[in-house]
Structure 1
Amino acid sequence: MRTLLALTAAVLAVSTAPAASAETAVLPERPGGAGVVFTDNPAIVDPLPMRAESFSRVADDRAVAVHFTTGTPQCYGVHATVAETPETVTVDLRSGTLPEAVGQACILIAVAGTVDVPLQNPLGARQVLTAF
């Protein structure tokens, strides 16, 4: 009886645990995007999740160009990380203030941008997702 109660308690604990909060959406493939080319910058300050809008293939099949909208490149930067499976490539895109722009006044204007995201394996026929 104790074993059954312990097992029931364990099942209830697992089934009521919060689910992972990460959500994803399929990124549409679009030809090379116009706009400002950003360089991946892991040093951005106060990074916030940003949903990518589309992607395009690059000459090297071991990267994708991800397209998004952010602020001016004089004040804002982006950082992308990727999780790969045999079926998908999930891009987690973050936007934040450039370290050298902290404390500066920045204009509020939307800028179309793109950043190349390197992959461990060729993209091939895998689906590209954005995390948000």
Structure 2
Amino acid sequence: MKRTVIALATAALALGLAPATQAQSSVDHRQEGTVWMPRLTEITRHEVLPGNQVRVHYWTGDPACYGAHAVLVETPWAVHVRVITGPRLGGADVCTMIALEKSQVLQLSAPLGDRPLHV
């Protein structure tokens, strides 16, 4: 069934039909399910928060169908963050083509300080 959804979405894009999108306000999320066909997703913005935390914002699909998780790598010289998204294993059989802005709060082991944040 998931292959059918992907095939239909691909066909719609090939015909020049834009998927219906609905912008929703950003809400903090934790990791959302295991994904197959993972891909790097653009981080659209980030915020440095108190308490050694960083919030990253990104766009993804319906959480019933798409999963996301952030990968954080810290060194004494820099902090690197990547967001991985993809179709969820065991996700819904029928998915809406909706775009959702989501965010995740990541806990750093030390204050960001002068270290550059690479997103």
Matches within 5 A, 1:1-132: 34-41=25-32, 43-61=34-52, 63-101=53-91, 104-130=93-119
Structure of greater Rg: 1
Contact 1:38 1:77 in 2 (8 A): no
- Measure, in 2, the Cα distance between the counterparts of 1:46 and 1:118: 26
| CA-CA distance at 1:116 after TM superposition | 1.4
- Give the count of matched residue pairs: 95
Structure 1: segments with no counterpart, 5+ residues: 1-33
Post-superposition CA distance 1:95-124 (Å, at most 9, x none): 01222316x121111111101122222222
Post-superposition CA distance 1:58-92 (Å, at most 9, x none): 3321x211001111222212111122222321112
- 81-90 or 109-118, which moves further after superposition? 81-90
Contact 1:36 1:111 in 2 (8 A): no
- Measure, in 2, the Cα distance between the counterparts of 1:35 and 1:42: 19
- Measure, in 1, the Cα distance between the counterparts of 2:62 and 2:32: 14
Q: 1:117 to 1:43 in 2, by over 3 A?
A: same
Q: 1:42 to 1:122 in 2, by over 3 A?
A: farther
**Structure 1 length normalisation: TM-score?**
0.62
Contact 1:67 1:114 in 2 (8 A): yes
